[in-house]
Every structure is written in C-alpha cells, then in structure tokens.
Amino acid sequence: MKKISRRTIPRTLLYLRTLESLIKEGRYTVSSGELARITGLTDVQIRKDISNFGRVGTPRIGYKTRELKNILKDYVLPENIIRMVLFGAGSLGTAILKYPGFRKQRLKISAAFDKDKRKTGKTINGVKVYPVERAPEVIRKSRVDIGIIAVPSEHGQEVADLMVGSGLKGIVNFAPVSLNLPENVSARDIDLSIEFLALYCDTRM
Amino acid sequence: MKKISRRTIPRTLLYLRTLESLIKEGRYTVSSGELARITGLTDVQIRKDISNFGRVGTPRIGYKTRELKNILKDYVLPENIIRMVLFGAGSLGTAILKYPGFRKQRLKISAAFDKDKRKTGKTINGVKVYPVERAPEVIRKSRVDIGIIAVPSEHGQEVADLMVGSGLKGIVNFAPVSLNLPENVSARDIDLSIEFLALYCDTRM
DNA sequence: TTGTAATCGTTACAAATTTCACGATTTTTA
DNA sequence: TAAAAATCGTGAAATTTGTAACGATTACAA
C-alpha cells in the first residue's frame, strides 16, 4: 500500500464529500476538471491525488462517482465506526454533540463528560453526560478512538492528561492552549481566534 | 515589508498566543528552544519564522516576551477591531457567539442572522439576531470584514452569495459544502467531519 | 473504420517549506 | 580579561508539495 502524502488526506476526504453529494444528485460520472471547479483545487492535483489509489479513471469519461467513492473510502475511512468522547458540555460541546454531519460519516460520540454537576446526568442529543471522574472507566469500557477537548483553556492540559491516561491515541483540541502530549498521541488543534485572524491576514494580501 | 510565507502566519499567531500566556505568568524572556517545547514545533522553525520580522532576539538570552509580542502583533494583528457577522443561530452559531476567546483578540461579532423567526429578535451574548433579509443593510452600515457560515449545508451557497453581494471579502465556512466564490473573496473551510477523520488517519500511521 | 476530441496518468519540473550546519553574538565565569 | 556556554540568525541542502507538459487511452462521430 503506497504511502499517501500528508496533505492529500484531507483533500481525499473532501473528494469523498463531493462525490457523495454528486451521487445524491444522480450523477454517474465526473471529470477531474469538474471536481476542480467544485472544490476550488486544480484538475492536475485531483488526478495526482487519485492516482495514489490506482488507475481508476476512464479517458474521455472521467471517474465513475460510485466506484471512486468506494475506492477512496477504503483508504481514508475506517471499516468500523469511530468512537469519540467529548469533554466539556458547554455551548461549544453541546454544538458538537448536536452536529448533524457526523451521522453520515462513521463518527459517533459515545459519551460526554463535564465537571459541573448541573450538567452531568443529562442526555444531550442522545449522549449521556458523565462527571469527569468516570471518564477512564467509561472510555475503557467502550473502545473509544478519539477525544475532543471543549473545555476552558485553563483545564485543557488536565483533560488531555486524563485522556492520555485512559489510552486515547487521538485528540481534537478546541481549547486555545498548547497541549503537552506524548509522542504516540496525535492531536489536531482548532483555535477559532487563529482561524479567523489568519483569514483576515489572507484578505489583506 | 518582507513577504511572509503562507504557513508562517498561523504559526505566528500561535507564538503570539503563547507569548501572551508567558507574559501573564510573569516571564520576561523566552528562548526559541522553550517556545519549541511548548508549541511542539522545532526551535529552528521558530527562529526562522521570527527572523521574518527583524533581528529581535538576543544570543544567550532569547527573546523578550513583551517586545516580541509587540513586534509580531504589528504583522499579524490589525490595528482596529475585526468586525464579523454570523449566519445561523443554531447550536453551532450560538457556541460561536458565546466563544470567550474572541474578547482578548481583536475579534467582535457585530450581528447575527437567521431565517427562523423564532430565533430573530433575540439577543445572544449581547449580539442581536436579525432576519436574514436585513443582512445587506446591517453589514453595509457597520463596516464588517468577515462573515461566518454556520447554517445547514444546503443553505451554505445562498448565504455565501448574500455575503458576497453585501461586500464581504472573507468567509469562514463551517458548512460541509464547497462554496463557489469570486476570486477576490478569501475563504477558510472548517469541516468537522474532515478534521476528525483526518486525525483518525493520523493515528493509524 | 478511421479520425477527433476529451480526459486520464505520469514523468519531469518548479516552488514552497522545512531542516541542517555553523558562524556570530552575548552573558557568565574562571 | 579570556574562555566557555548558550542562543540567535541565516545561507545552503533536503524534503515536500504543487504544476506543467504530454503521451496514452477511450468514446464518439463522420
């Protein structure tokens, strides 16, 4: 299995999203050129990315939407559901729990945790909110893959430590703080202020 | 003014965040090595990024936290407040309206818009929710820089068109759909499913 | 059946980004 | 005062990423 370059992965997920939308519209085929117009990337890049996954297109026609979707899925989607847990049932945490886009993807939030006793015990969008103390136990019991940090930044590190201690290997961190993590744990930081300010810089150049 | 490479901008914003935190702890100086340990980047990359902004460090000492902060600010933060508007006052929109990290940065949401008459008229965290029809008028009146899309994906494009029509030059798009935008409008897409799935791929490699 | 147009896949090329290596500078210490 | 230690800044090398060019392939039309 060919090694896939770091940046092609999110692009491939984007192709998948696009293909699913085209399939829903009833489209049977699509060319790299059209995918380029839709996604804002270039046709060459799309062909090159797809060539990682084998010779799958047909000259003069393009790609069969369903076939390409299935091939890409093999590389970037897991066979089973990805189980996630969420820390922090504030407004951001609640928004994540209610996010409708996870259902189609194979993403599922198994449990949520919060420090605040007024929030624990509730169920938000079908997900139970436990007190943080129960996190290690609940995580171990249900084979969780990814943890989400949606707590105030001053508690980010302690929550991260708790996750690492419970065996999680992937963290998505919405708290605007740099986490100190062991080598074998992957993280993805989403700092809204940085996203917005970076966009602002883009508009000025 | 030297041209700053695309990827150094978000890193510079990260340095700024880190410096502000160090300053709050009372630190006067910091070395590239320590910034590297905190942020997870390498010391060379940090020195090289900073060298874009002039010779500001002192050998054997490192960087003065306040001085470096002020210099970086000049390059990546605007003089004035950045005004933003939000489309979609659902749970994600509400979370963005309540996001506490914007206050320290120079980011301010001036107004929100929603289609749903049950949501309009309210005020969420001090921000008034208007019916979408009033968007062009409100945007023009208050010199807005950036628009945020937090509506269901099937309405993403129409909202984007409305934003472009109202003169916005930057869009942050949380809807999992590719927007068709004119050349002169910058966009940043944040698709939560893609973020989570990409992280999952990272954990498997 | 042959020619033509559209599109893919791939090799070579270019650009951007990161890493390396090391000289220069400054503080501290002997 | 001279040597040592720590750190910066930077040109060059290496790597990664993206782009261009173009031959190969296929469907379709004449």
Report chain A (205 residues): mean pLDDT per 10 consecutive residues: 90 98 98 98 98 97 98 96 98 98 95 98 98 97 96 98 97 98 97 98 91
Q: A143 CA to chain B: closest CA distance, Å?
A: 14
pLDDT value for B133: 97
B88 and B139 part of one domain: yes
Q: Is A1 within a domain?
A: no
Q: What does the alpha-carbon distance between residue A149 and residue B171 come to, in Å, rounded to a whole number?
A: 25
Q: What does the alpha-carbon distance between residue A45 and residue A48 come to, in Å, rounded to a whole number?
A: 5
Does A167 lie at the interface with B, CB-CB under 8 angstroms? no
Domain count, chain B: 2
Mean pLDDT computed over B14-25: 98
User: Where does a domain end: A75, A94, A110?
Assistant: A75
B86 and B132 part of one domain: yes
Does B23 lie at the interface with A, CB-CB under 8 angstroms? no
Residue whose Cα is closest to the C1' of C4: A60
pLDDT value for A205: 79
State yes or no: pLDDT of B2 exceeds 80: no
For residue A39, how many other CB atoms are within 10 A of its CB? 17
Positions in chain C where some atom is under 7 Å from a protein CB: 5-11, 16-21, 24-27
A126 and A171 part of one domain: yes
pLDDT value for A101: 96
pLDDT value for A119: 98
- Give contacts of A14 with chain B, Cβ < 8 Å: 178, 191, 194
A76–B196 C-beta distance less than 8 A: no
Q: What does the alpha-carbon distance between residue B39 and residue A6 come to, in Å, rounded to a whole number?
A: 20
Residues 6 or more apart whose Cβ sits within 8 Å of residue A141 = none
B30 and B119 part of one domain: no
DSSP lists the bridge partners of residue A63 as A30
For residue B32, say whether its CB is under 7 Å from any atom of strand D: yes
Q: Is A53 within a domain?
A: yes
Q: Do strands B146-149 and B186-189 pair parallel, antiparallel, or not at all (unpaired)?
A: unpaired
Please give the backbone phi and psi of residue B24, each rounded to the nearest 5 degrees, phi first: -60, -30
User: Where does a domain end: A75, A101, A134?
Assistant: A75
B24 and B66 part of one domain: yes
- Residue A39 tokens read as 């996604």
B55 and B121 part of one domain: no
A82–B197 C-beta distance less than 8 A: yes
Q: Is A106 within a domain?
A: yes
A70 and A113 part of one domain: no
What's the pLDDT tens digit per position in B141-184? Answer: 999 999 999 999 999 999 999 999 999 999 999 999 999 999 99
Determine which of A144, A197, A202, A204 to mutate to test the interface with B (most B C-beta atoms within 10 Å): A197
DSSP lists the bridge partners of residue B183 as none
Provide the CATH number for the domain around residue B123: 3.40.50.720
pLDDT value for A1: 61
User: CB–CB of A38/A18 below 8 Å?
Assistant: yes
Please give the residue range of the domain that contains residue A107.
Answer: 82-195
User: Where does a domain end: B44, B75, B106?
Assistant: B75
Closest CB from A94, A186, A197 relative to B203: A186
User: What is the band of B25 on the pLDDT scale with cuts at 50, 70, 90?
Assistant: very high
B87 and B49 part of one domain: no
Q: Which of residues 13-42 of A touch strand D (CB under 7 A)?
A: 41-42
A164 and A68 part of one domain: no
pLDDT value for B1: 62
Q: What does the alpha-carbon distance between residue B90 and residue B92 come to, in Å, rounded to a whole number?
A: 6
B188 and B104 part of one domain: yes
Does B9 lie at the interface with A, CB-CB under 8 angstroms? yes
One-character DSSP codes across A67-92: HHHHHHHHHHS-SSPEEEEEE--SHH
Q: Is A3 within a domain?
A: no
- Ranges of beta strands (E only) in chain B are 29-30, 63-64, 82-87, 107-114, 123-124, 127-131, 146-149, 170-173, 186-189
Q: B35 CA to chain A: closest CA distance, Å?
A: 10
Provide the CATH number for the domain around residue B51: 1.10.10.10
For residue B94, how many other CB atoms are within 10 A of its CB? 23
B193–A107 C-beta distance less than 8 A: yes
B118 and B188 part of one domain: yes
For residue A188, how many other CB atoms are within 10 A of its CB? 17
B102 and B142 part of one domain: yes
Q: What does the alpha-carbon distance between residue B139 and residue A158 come to, in Å, rounded to a whole number?
A: 41
**Please, which residues 35-94 of chain B have a Cβ atom closer than 8 Å to chain A?**
38-40, 76-78, 82, 84, 90-92, 94
Q: Is B130 within a domain?
A: yes
Q: Is B204 within a domain?
A: no
Q: Is B69 within a domain?
A: yes
Q: A57 CA to chain B: closest CA distance, Å?
A: 22
Q: What does the alpha-carbon distance between residue B102 and residue B108 come to, in Å, rounded to a whole number?
A: 7
Positive or negative, the CA dihedral A97, A102, A106, A107 is negative
Counting one residue from A and one from B, how many pairs have CB atoms under 8 Å apart?
169
B145–A192 C-beta distance less than 8 A: no
Q: Is A40 within a domain?
A: yes
